[in-house]
Amino acid sequence: MAKIQNQQEAAVAEAVSKTEQFFQENGKKVVIAVVAIVVVAVAGYLYKSLVVDANAEKASELIIEAQDRFGVQNPDFALALNGDENGAGFLDVVEQYGSTAAGNLAKHYAGICYLRLGDLENAEKYLSMYKSVNELGAEVVNAQNLGLRGDIAVERGEYEAAVALYKKAVAASENVYTAPLFLYKQLLAYVALGNKAEAQKCYDTLQAQYPMSVEAREAEKVMGTL
């Protein structure tokens, strides 16, 4: 019995190690991949939201300047965040037009910039300032925001909090891009908690709803270690 228990503990420890390694090695890739989705989705969201705001035109001009630094092949996240004499940063948009739709979105972008710069405290602060929007295209941003906050919880070893955020992220936008990603991360967080039963549920959902996804294949590998 003791031998079996030791083997189970070793398997869980190995899975947790792989979980931590996954977040360490793939965190940047994950952010980049989801950001690419967001850049496309945001266009429609901004168009509908900004036209009704008195400050919309100026706010949209400023956020576009910051997005230009953010969306390039080799983004300068510090510059996108803070801006310079040649253009505004996301913090400028938040400070001057925080109550507008663009200001709300800038909070989300600022959180991503801080996350990429390794400042978890400010990343969480600004990501949490973002208010979910019920507009076409915004659901992907809503999901990403929750998922990134889940990533921060993982970085802090707060796996239960991460699970709750990943669940909300999946529910916020059940598409084939973000949903399997955050469902997989939810599985990894459960593995880190040693909760094989809940991890299995995540795995079953991935296989049933997103069987062709990369996450479904990766989940199979993880579950094979338990």
Domain holding 134, by residue range, is 2-223
3-state SS, residue 84: strand
Closest Cα partner for 84 from 103, 65, 67, 102? 65
List, for residues 119-157, the tens digit of each pLDDT value.
999 999 999 999 998 877 789 899 999 999 999 999 999
Task: Give the model's pLDDT for residue 33.
Answer: 43
Looking at every residue in the chain, the average pLDDT score rounds to: 80
Task: Give the model's pLDDT for residue 54.
Answer: 61
Q: Is the pLDDT of residue 39 over 80?
A: no
User: For residue 127, what are its two tokens?
Assistant: 């990501």
CATH number at residue 22: 1.25.40.10
List, for residues 151-208, the tens digit of each pLDDT value.
999 999 999 999 999 999 999 988 888 899 999 999 999 999 999 999 999 999 999 9
Tell me the helices (H) and strands (E) count for the chain, helix number first: 11, 0
List, for residues 4-24, the tens digit of each pLDDT value.
233 333 333 344 444 455 555
If one counts the domains in the chain, the total is 1
Q: Is the pLDDT of residue 213 over 90?
A: yes
225: left (phi over 0), alpha (psi -120 to 50) or beta: alpha
* pTM listed for this prediction: 0.76
Task: Identify the band that residue 25 occupies on the pLDDT scale cut at 50, 70 and 90.
Answer: low
